[in-house]
């Protein structure tokens, strides 16, 4: 009904969906068109809700995401009133995935506004049915994949998500949870992207603060180097664990 509403009610500024269905990315994309500014007035505050917010803001330039019942902490673990006995909540509500995600989005707010305006932002929303997404950004294909456990390859996270900023030539900020990220050059030149420098950190008052330099096993995704080289990959990338979202800054170089 989107196009009918746009034609019949042109004085309406926004058409905004409440979304609880698992096809969040597809549904939200239907509203982020025809000049309609995307705002999500009601949705989940579970781990999948955190992925929803990152994707809507990072990929669809959403102006906001409002979780239902933010004053009811049991919703953070998936409980909905009237559906049964509420689960026990941990003592530290702020340790739940959704509050963690919003703390990172708050840090990223200046970056989000800058890169939404420039068109240099993208995001991925992943689950077991959709385990990989390519984002064309900054002269690279940024491949975001659900994080793999090298010791237990069959264990795959239920949900993973990331937001990506092309912050300069061969440079990206990435924030995510339960994903791994690699880069493939899309402009003329050497075909393989290596990791020149990877920093973990946070933003404080808009300033990037490095907390750790990452290398070695922090970044190796493929130990079979011949297999990686055959796919024009270095075998290394960015890895984000289940305790995120966390933020990394990467500077790339290219080689043959």
Nearest Cα residue to 143 out of 72, 103, 193, 200: 193
| CATH architecture for the domain at 119-255 | Sandwich (2.60)
CA distance 151 to 43: 35
> Backbone dihedral region of 186: left (phi > 0), alpha (psi from -120 to 50 degrees) or beta?
alpha
Q: Can you give the pLDDT of all 256 residues of the chain as single tens digits?
A: 888 988 999 899 999 999 988 899 999 999 998 889 999 999 988 888 999 999 999 999 999 999 887 777 766 666 565 666 666 666 677 888 888 999 999 999 999 999 999 999 999 999 998 999 999 999 999 999 999 887 777 788 999 999 999 999 999 999 999 999 999 999 999 999 999 999 999 999 999 999 999 999 999 998 888 888 888 899 999 999 999 899 999 999 999 8
Evaluate if pTM is beyond 0.95: no
Q: Helix crossing, 47-59 with 97-118: angle to 10°?
A: 10
Query: Residue ranges of the domains in the chain?
Result: 2-102, 119-255
């Amino acid at each position: 009904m989107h196009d009918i509403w746009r034609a019949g009610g042109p004085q309406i500024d926004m058409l905004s969906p409440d979304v609880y269905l698992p096809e969040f990315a597809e549904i939200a994309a239907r509203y982020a068109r025809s000049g309609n500014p995307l705002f999500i007035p009601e949705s989940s505050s579970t781990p999948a809700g955190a992925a929803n917010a990152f994707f809507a803001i990072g990929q669809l330039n959403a102006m906001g995401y409002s979780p239902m019942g933010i004053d009811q902490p049991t919703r953070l673990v998936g409980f909905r009133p009237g559906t049964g006995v509420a689960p026990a909540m941990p003592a530290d509500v702020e340790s739940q995935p959704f509050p963690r995600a919003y703390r990172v989005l708050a840090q990223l707010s200046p970056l989000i506004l800058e890169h939404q305006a420039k068109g240099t932002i993208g995001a991925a929303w992943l689950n077991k049915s959709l385990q990989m997404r390519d984002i064309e950004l900054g002269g690279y294909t940024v491949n975001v994949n659900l994080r793999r456990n090298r010791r237990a390859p069959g264990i795959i996270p239920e949900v993973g998500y990331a937001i990506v900023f092309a912050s300069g030539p061969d440079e990206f900020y990435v924030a995510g949870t339960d994903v791994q990220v690699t880069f493939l050059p899309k402009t003329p030149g050497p075909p393989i992207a290596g990791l020149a420098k990877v920093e973990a950190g946070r933003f404080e008052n808009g300033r990037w603060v490095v907390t750790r330099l990452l290398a070695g096993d922090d970044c190796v995704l493929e130990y079979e180097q011949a297999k990686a080289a055959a796919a024009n990959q270095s075998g290394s990338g960015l890895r984000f664990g289940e305790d995120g979202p966390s933020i990394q800054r990467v500077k790339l170089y290219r080689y043959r």
